[in-house]
Structure 1
């Protein structure tokens, strides 16, 4: 029959596919049988003798054949009896095995392929395993003990343990052989080592360990340094738990593409709803932070690159048109976040001002929640999540979280409330700490770690903080921050990244920070101005006909600008000294005495009177040479000063902003 050419090609292709699949299945079956050949010996022997019996039945069985089977059974029975009588375990075992085999074969020869023959074969197989398994286990234990002893006392011979079904010390490659021998020397011989896979940065393999507590993956991970020394191979060893309890993933990194700092490429986003790139992985892919999905925790040791990661986040955020940026920096003078002050709506560097920022955010959260309650979707459903259509997001960056909670423990409740509730209102918190501890996350009973959807871990000096940062069991799962060897290297845990992978944060220098801050500044001179959104919740607003633009909710838009009171030398007047400064100004030439200041309540603003008065007198801003009765009089004498500026009210519903932060 004629078959068109294209049809013949189609049939040939289908046949090739079928043949290929059959070959793959056969190869897999052969590999499995080869790996379990010792375990399959009794079953294979029993099945083989059963088939011989069926073959004998097919060619015919006569009286002489039956007599031969009888004589064989008599001989094996005698051997069994002799072994039992003379207490020879070997002879008795051989006699029992031979008797069972002859019975199985004889039944197959007489009955042929039938149910009785299959039953006889099954019984013989089960009985043989009852004897064979204890012997096999004992033999393997003795072999393992011998290998461990040999590894500890002398070089191991290359011929020991070639097969993969037994605990061996040789492999298909130099790396596999070294790995097997290192595990044997550690006292944990590998049951199996999968084929080693080589990558651009090194190699990895999956090791199956013997069952037991002392041979588990966790036990080997705890001895990583010893195993690395036993391997004696170039590279950096990393160990993680596999999918099963007795599986160990061994990774050896021989080259490090992140050995040099990775320069920051510049602003890459224009909205907070876009993933923010903060660094790269060894394969060149960028590390992305989905800040819109939740709060972010940045934790690591001192001088390990935490500030660099925070600055990269801030540099991208200041360029986003849908973000108000605020900050709390507990280093005196806001040394870390200070360069971004001109881009922030609030920046606090003391417990008092930090408390004000958190109270403002809490009130703003309430206002936004009330505003969302007035909105309805296209089908009349309530709007439950803030988006850029409703106004700008607010991102609060907290540097030195542990120090904030140490100096101002009373702000824990406000912070926890914000962490748990504020995400739906478009408020995000980026918290950084050098001391990841229970206190840094709220203390006992108020653990806030679960609120951080993204956790960025930087190098730490010891493994203890790892579980504190990433959660219970993270250390054994491979989140080894203690193995990160360079500042800026990091591991990120988020919905996007669920597996430990070493990367490195971008390096942003001071020139880039300054240029980016100036380019996206809210004010012309960030040192003389402060910006702050309306801190008081508005009355319940009416349902707007359409989503407003600019800031969040009604009366949204650009935040109210507020001049910062300054001393004659241009430095900022702290909040706890502003009231005293203004009182001296108003007193004029009459001046004030300390009793008058105390009576006016000026000593209750978080500071003593003596320190600021003495400082101002030394600088010539206050004259303390006069007296009134027995009390010294302090007269304001500064030739130039920045008067306290009253914030303008925007409308009847918006009261004036409070003192600047």
Structure 2
């Protein structure tokens, strides 16, 4: 092994330890050797700025050699340049040319250089005006290269990373080293390897020091595990500008079925924050003004576009948040008693669906327009827990048993208190957690789960409405995203367009609700005693029409379910509905709500 090779390896090892090697120049060293080293380092350091010069020199040499050895090849060179230019223009995105202007520039350089090389191969380098064209064309095509923002950013990043050993030593991560780096639209990211004994938690704790050392603005540095999840590796993300500084308009629904992942908004790398809600309960949390309601609007805009979802909602702020979506909501509870009945009916639905699946030997409810999923959206979950505490058992039951039967609970709260979020089974069953800005550090663990703050999920540092962190089975690293913004006009337009395509609740679920209400109606009609049996109500000598009218006349204000009328008369459902329609045409009965009827007061006896 030569002495020079040993010195290079020793210098590389010193850099890994955070020590910058020093070159000692002996007085006996010859000046030409020193000058060659200095020039070589200059040409390498400024290789990006000098790339057009290198390209012009390479074309001139290639033209001279090809003219002397393979002059007849010029048609093939021209054809190859044309093909290369077309390929770059059409498929340049696959090699990192994400912008259309970048692809066209690369195609122009390839075509221009190829055409000149073909001419030089055929005619010779000295043929006028080829030298002048090469110099002028090289300068013209070099100007966009020198002015390109991403190229200049890449050069700046390379020089910053060249100084990483010194930075690592200063911030307490001595021995860490850069493995690769990529510049993108909003900044750059690098993959780094840690020294022995260092972990990603050590890096997270030193993020402010890294921001200071790199000279970035506060909050510009992100640290997350690498995709291979190695303990001694991490990805450093540095933003030059905040991609979420401005609100992002909602582009429209991203799904047509609940079986597809819903796009809540873009991450900082411009990828979509898509998450599946089918058979997953979800929690939206954040303080007032954090953009939680905007996130719910994005969710509602997508759910209302699905033709295999029935939406129930609870909004105890008298419908302030969810009322604009009322045309697409099957049931909207805005008062405590309405919320109590809605959740009780939801439990009846999941029990009926479970029995229906068991009778057919099936394990899961597959949503279709005829058998839709049921999504229950509860805004201000803390208010529900305070005003209707007896609903805790129902929400717990839905959270535990609703997955297989496609009954999904989505809760949102501005107050992630221990009382609201820490009791019962609801919080522990939330597979999807969306955290907008929280006021206190401890609230991060209340919304996202125990230990998430220490793992780098810093929701308390989110600095604009709509920014959120998403925790789900497919999103297990802390990446910032921003929810799309829906204006009031956009909400009204979406609700109007989607209202006509909303599915109806399936027959299994409707029957379960009617039967559940029938039990309540019987207790109301007969007082505290046990409800009468069918044989007691419908004696053989009583005509079904008489029994029907008697039940309708005694019905409470909320009406009596059709299922109870069927049991009392002993007649079929079509017969009941035919008689009800006849009585309604005579203005003797009225339909109070879906499946519930009563006699009009002035005709009641």
Report the TM-score range of the alignment, normalised by the length of the smaller protein. Answer: 0.5 to 0.7
Measure the CA separation in 1 of the matches of 2:386 and 2:558.
Answer: 33
Measure the CA separation in 2 of the matches of 1:301 and 1:30.
Answer: 59
| 2:479 alignment counterpart | 501
Measure the CA separation in 2 of the matches of 1:327 and 1:362.
Answer: 15
Measure the CA separation in 2 of the matches of 1:473 and 1:358.
Answer: 32
Corresponding residue SS for 1:293: coil
Contact 1:281-1:503 within 8 A present in 2 as well: yes
Measure the CA separation in 1 of the matches of 2:250 and 2:164.
Answer: 39
Measure the CA separation in 1 of the matches of 2:305 and 2:12.
Answer: 60
Deviations for 1:243-266, whole angstroms, at most 9, x for unmatched residues? 565655432111233322111122
Measure the CA separation in 1 of the matches of 2:180 and 2:12.
Answer: 17
Question: Which of 385, 396, 400 is equivalent to 1:420?
Answer: 400
Corresponding residue SS for 2:246: coil
| 1:225 alignment counterpart | 208
Aligned length: 384
Contact 1:385-1:425 within 8 A present in 2 as well: yes
Measure the CA separation in 2 of the matches of 1:262 and 1:480.
Answer: 22
Corresponding residue SS for 1:303: coil
| 2:182 alignment counterpart | 198
**Cα pair distance change 1:488/1:522, threshold 3 Å:** same
Measure the CA separation in 1 of the matches of 2:248 and 2:352.
Answer: 42
Deviation at 1:31, TM superposition (A): 9.8
The TM-score with structure 1 as length reference comes to 0.51
Contact 1:371-1:553 within 8 A present in 2 as well: no
Write the mapping of 1:316-465 to structure 2, written as runs, cut at 5 A.
316-331=302-317, 333-375=318-360, 382-389=361-368, 391-443=371-423, 446-465=424-443
**Cα pair distance change 1:407/1:230, threshold 3 Å:** farther
**Cα pair distance change 1:222/1:272, threshold 3 Å:** same
Question: Which of 537, 562, 569 is equivalent to 1:649?
Answer: 562
Question: Which of structures 1 and 2 has the bigger CA Rg?
Answer: 1
Contact 1:368-1:553 within 8 A present in 2 as well: no
**Cα pair distance change 1:241/1:323, threshold 3 Å:** closer
Deviations for 1:484-525, whole angstroms, at most 9, x for unmatched residues? 3221122222233233322221111101111222333379xx
| 1:546 alignment counterpart | none
Deviations for 1:244-290, whole angstroms, at most 9, x for unmatched residues? 65655432111233322111122343322222222223444332231
Contact 1:401-1:431 within 8 A present in 2 as well: yes
Deviations for 1:581-632, whole angstroms, at most 9, x for unmatched residues? xxxxxxxxxxxxxxxxxxx99xxxxxxxxxxxxxxxxxxxxxxxxxxxxxxx
| 1:489 alignment counterpart | 467
Deviations for 1:373-417, whole angstroms, at most 9, x for unmatched residues? 221xxxxxx101011256121110011112221333332221111
Corresponding residue SS for 2:401: helix
* Unaligned ranges ≥5, structure 2: 1-5, 17-155, 515-526, 529-555, 568-572, 574-593, 599-605
**Cα pair distance change 1:178/1:263, threshold 3 Å:** same
Measure the CA separation in 2 of the matches of 1:178 and 1:274.
Answer: 45
**Cα pair distance change 1:364/1:38, threshold 3 Å:** closer
**Cα pair distance change 1:250/1:519, threshold 3 Å:** closer
The TM-score with structure 2 as length reference comes to 0.56
* Unaligned ranges ≥5, structure 1: 1-28, 40-170, 376-381, 524-530, 532-548, 561-599, 602-642
Deviation at 1:313, TM superposition (A): 1.2
| 1:312 alignment counterpart | 298
| 1:552 alignment counterpart | 506
